[in-house]
Amino acid sequence: MGSYRHHAIIVTSYDYPEAAEKMEMVYAKAKELFGPLVSEKVKTKLNGFISFFVAPDGSKEGWEESDYADKQRAELVGFIEEQQCSDGGNPIKYAELFYGDDDRGEVGVESHN
């Protein structure tokens, strides 16, 4: 039967050349994995940050579609982690959130960097 637990990913980076190049790669990967669930990029009015959002898949937990989306999210998060610089920093920041849990009403952070 299953219950709903929405999972979303928010991705943010600086708009300077090295970071912008990596952000383009991450955005392309997100579009490849999630297609129409990926928002347009939004640039802040101050300090030159760029963000986009991966919307929830809409499937109930435990359903095949939900399990597949879990794997896609893990793949995107892994790809973001691969953008780490030699100094250990990463210009691409993300948070994978969950909310709207039918059973427990939980809200939280699944993963982040």
More confident residue, 66 or 25: 25
Q: What is the 3-state secondary structure (H, E, C) of 6-45?
A: EEEEEEEEECCHHHHHHHHHHHHHHHHHHHHHECCCEECC
Q: What is the dihedral of CA 59, 64, 66, 70, to 10 degrees?
A: -170
Q: Which domains does the chain have, with CATH numbers?
A: 6-103 (3.30.70)
pLDDT tens track for 32-75: 999 999 999 999 999 999 999 999 988 888 888 989 999 999 99
User: What's the Cα-to-Cα distance from 90 to each of 14, 26, 85, rounded to whole Å?
Assistant: 11, 12, 6
Interacting residues of 57 by C-beta distance below 8 A, sequence separation 6+: 7, 37, 65, 66, 69
Place of tokens 């896609």: 72
